[in-house]
Structure 1
């Protein structure tokens, strides 16, 4: 398996784990978990609807163990995914309703934070 060696990296604490998100040399998002005992999950790509190559990234974790991954695709639009505490994922998909009611959100920069209740605060700098 190709390892991310990337041009983008984000790390967050989610529950008792550290979660790492990187953009690999292949342009795709890669994810790994460092468990409390020091063990690693191993690098994997999040599931999605044909997850596009990504140009930037952000990851936010919550005490519940959930994490939200945000990225900017090479198409310039913002994408998101949720990794639940049990390790299952919601599909990677475009952030809906961009400026002016657009179907996708054109982004230049992106960052995120999760609240303990599970809601996400996302900051996207439009391009």
Structure 2
């Protein structure tokens, strides 16, 4: 079975897409970075080191210092699939990030996005 294409995409090419999505809705790169760091455990400096290394998305998540323990509370639909129904761990983590960025772009406050019991 071949890996999904997103796994082999360079994270440094996906990252600007997250920023563009947020900025189109009046949000900031700093907010995107906060979400990514919250989810993955990377510090802002470590995040930018990973971007400079040009690693793929799968490696980005595999090397994450500590995936946030509350990420499993993230619920909802992304790309037509319920996040909580995804079984493969890497894909689930990718979709968690997608969902958080979507919530940011929809105008939710950072406090509501990153408070585990309010993640929707």
Q: TM-score, normalised by structure 1?
A: 0.26
Per residue, is there more helix in 1 or in 2? 2
Structure scoring higher RCO (CA < 8 A, sep ≥ 6) equals: 2
Q: TM-score, normalised by structure 2?
A: 0.27
